[in-house]
A and B are shown apart, each in its own frame.
Chain A
Amino acid sequence: MTPSFPALTIMEAKIRQLTEKDLERALQVFRRSLDHEASAYLNSCVHCGLCDVSCHYFLTYHDLESMPAYKLKLVTDVFKGHFSRLGRTLPGLIGAKKLDHAMIRAWLDSLFGRCSLCGRCSINCSIGINITQLIRAARGALAAIGLVPPGLQSTVDTAIQKGNNMGIPREDWLETVEWLEEELQAEVDDPSARLPLDEPDVNLFYTINPREAMFFPLSILAAAKIFYAAGESWTFSRENYDVTNYGLYSGDDAVAGTLSNRLVESMLALKAGTLVLAECGHGFNSNRWEAPEWLSKHYPFPVKSVLEIVADYIRDGRIRLDPSRNSKTVTLHDPCNLVRLGGIIEEQRFILRHAVADFVEMTPNREKNYCCGGGGGQLAMTNFAERRLEAGRIKADQVRATGAEVVVTPCHNCIDQFMELNKHYQLGIEIKTVCEMVAEALILP
């Protein structure tokens, strides 16, 4: 049998092998993930279809499968088919369905392959359904039967097995820190400047996206330079420095909790004051908002984005900036997990207004901004890469309309997507983090 969805070809063998027992296990996991909130949402959709224009996939393809209401319907149909008396009695009336092989294919194609969990549909829903939450719950059911698309699953597995999602060996990390420390000392002309490791009793415990260590070490250097200029007491961990958490995207709460708990344990061991999350959208949402729920515990320390810290430095006069050093026209992309789902909305703007000479907003912006297409684990799921790039056209057009030469975004997933969009749509832009712009404008003491 030919798969209904070409992008799923590499997963078709696994789908065919699914037994009734597997499907039952997926259902159990799905059921366990539902609480009264999810149940309320699952009873609420009126199929008005107004959400369609809020989704960058729908705006690209204009097809049913990309409509948020349809993606939600795939989940509600199964909910009604298995957990609603009416759905079991009169399935045809309300469209209740069983979780079978065909539905699994549809879930994989739409819930993994046409959704970046950006949450834009939720704020645009006529009713107010948190569609993202429900799609993630369904992803969790697929994760329980080994049906997370391979690229995403391997990212999760690497993080679990190696301690970070890039599989960076400990020695390499320590060498990178050592090298960056020398760079910092040279740059600030101070041999006592440091990138501390496992320093106890500091104010800030700083985390990074491992992509920074592998491909963008200058963004680590930028943050270190800012901390140096502010006279901050801070530290990295030798072991647990990875801010990312792809369990958020695979939907596997247990794995996600395990990954986030590593940072909690290091925080407690080092008795640091604040857990500071690097410029990583999903890392922020995971560790600031979701992890306390995955772990069912109140954190005994504050969790902040590095943007909040830097904004405070500027407000408190701990660092001084010269915006003329960033003279090109700069625009800002709002990462969905940091802004719409994370609540960090104005800090980056406040910082950029002090760090760059010419700042222009995209339209729309802030919590209404379009997803760049890189979220939801899309960058890791190579089988959906074509869609990701096509759906990124919305963002490319948004950037073009600003006339900006530099796109700043406080998220490394977004940066990766922008690098590809830059090439694919020939945008001719530079892509930077907020800290890189600040470091450039920094007036050293």
Chain B
Amino acid sequence: MTLLPFAVLVSLLICVATLTAMVLRSRAFGKRALHAAPVATATRGIVFAFGTGMLPWEKESARRHLFTYLAGIIYHVGVFTAAGYVSWRLVFGAPAGGSALLTVFLLPGVAAGVFLLLKRLFVRNMRRLSVPDDYISNLLVNYLLAASAVDAVTGTFTPGLYLAVILLLIYIPLGKIRHCVFFFYARYLLGRFHGRRGTWPKPDLNEDAS
């Protein structure tokens, strides 16, 4: 194994170990038993939170910021594509062919990332809301997507790609990209909250009962 792939694996280990420690630390704040009797199962709320509850017709914020919402989806499709591509590259080496097709997902991802960055820079409230981490996270991910695209087409940008992966993996626990773990945690909890209370999903109307 050459040095860079080895460094990627070490970074991955560091990232996973640090995120695990963060989750454990978070759990160390203590779990409180719930005492109020639920009106519905939490499960339905959790399913809703991860499904329909994220779609624009259910979520007004997504609908009213549709362009940003779509950019976010495209961005994340790019991220997952890059993750898959890098994983393939590490395990099986350079793809025999056809990897250039991945640019269909990677390049729009880069464009979406740049759009989100520009929005953060030029919309006053967004700029004032932002901290350095917001920009660093965005740039690191943009670099990963761009490096993946270049390597997928040329097959020669592997060192640059691995460097992007290493930087990103090391940075993930430091900044907001930790939401790759906490997103699922938070969404699960909110789904449980509204599921138990019968707010998510909406109850069926039962006029027959009248």
Question: Which residues of B are interface residues toward A (Cβ below 8 A)?
Answer: 22, 25-37, 39-40, 49, 53, 59-62, 64-65, 68-69, 72, 123-126, 128-134, 136, 174-176, 178-179, 182-183, 185-191, 193-194, 197-200, 202-203, 205, 207, 209-210
Contact = CB atoms under 8 A, between A and B. Distances in A.
Contacts of B194: 123, 343
Interface stretch (A66-74, A139-147, A183-191, A234-242): A66-74
Which secondary structure dominates chain B's binding surface?
helix
Given A35-B31, A67-B125, A95-B133, A124 B49 contact: no
Shortest beta-carbon contacts, A-B, top 5: A343-B198, A95-B131, A292-B35, A128-B187, A124-B61
Contacts of A16: none
B183 A128 contact: yes
Contact of B202 (A54, A64, A367): A367
Interface of A: 34-41, 43-54, 62-64, 67, 69-70, 73, 86, 90, 92-95, 122-130, 288-293, 295-299, 302, 314-315, 339-343, 345-346, 349-350, 354, 364, 366-368
Contacts of A64: 124-125, 128-129
B138 to A, nearest CB: 10
B203 A298 contact: no
A44 B197 contact: no
A44 B61 contact: no
Nearest to A69: B129
B70 to A, nearest CB: 12
A54 B61 contact: yes
Contacts of A292: 35-37
6 contacts: A49-B126, A54-B60, A69-B129, A93-B175, A123-B194, A126-B62
B129 A341 contact: no
A368 B57 CA distance: 11
Contact of A93 (B22, B174, B187): B174
B199 A43 contact: no
Nearest to A349: B205
B132 A92 contact: yes
Contacts of B199: 339-343, 345, 367
Question: Which of A39, A73, A125, A314 has the most chain B CB atoms inside 10 A of its CB?
Answer: A39
Contacts of B136: 93
